[in-house]
Amino acid sequence: MVYTYPACFYPGDDGITVDIPDLLGCVTEGQTMAEAIYMAEEATEGWLYLTLRDGEELPKPTPITEVKADEYPNGFVSMVRADIDAYIEKYHKKAISKRCKVPVWLNTLAERKGIDFSFALQEGLKHQLGIE
């Protein structure tokens, strides 16, 4: 899923601040224009990912012609791209190996039932953490 949203760029003496006005509180910055664009894309992807994860509806992007970046001198508007699938792959699909001990009797019963230990551990952790 790829989305685009208008972003307000505000160059200043100490870098470039970027505000994504359709995404409440989605503000970031970078020292260079390239870094500011990268950070804006990352911030937008993170904001959208959390919204989707929580089952909420995404805000509709305002047409770029209706967005003004006149809060500070030299402000301008540009579109930022957010690739949610790439974001999930980069930050939320990585797995790490964990060593844990299971009593022999429990291991035997689980193997007989064909239980996927990795899945069971993930589900148990989610339950313990109150994550749906």
- Largest Cα–Cα distance in the chain? 70
User: Side-chain half-sphere of 96: how many Cα atoms within 13 Å?
Assistant: 5
Q: Model confidence over 25-40: pLDDT tens digits?
A: 999 999 999 999 999 9
Q: List, in order of start, the domains of the chain with CATH numbers.
A: 2-91 (3.30.160.250), 95-132 (no CATH)
pTM score, whole prediction: 0.70
Distance of alpha carbon 89 from alpha carbon 123, whole angstroms: 20
Q: Model confidence over 94-104: pLDDT tens digits?
A: 777 888 899 99
Q: Is the pLDDT of residue 132 over 70?
A: no
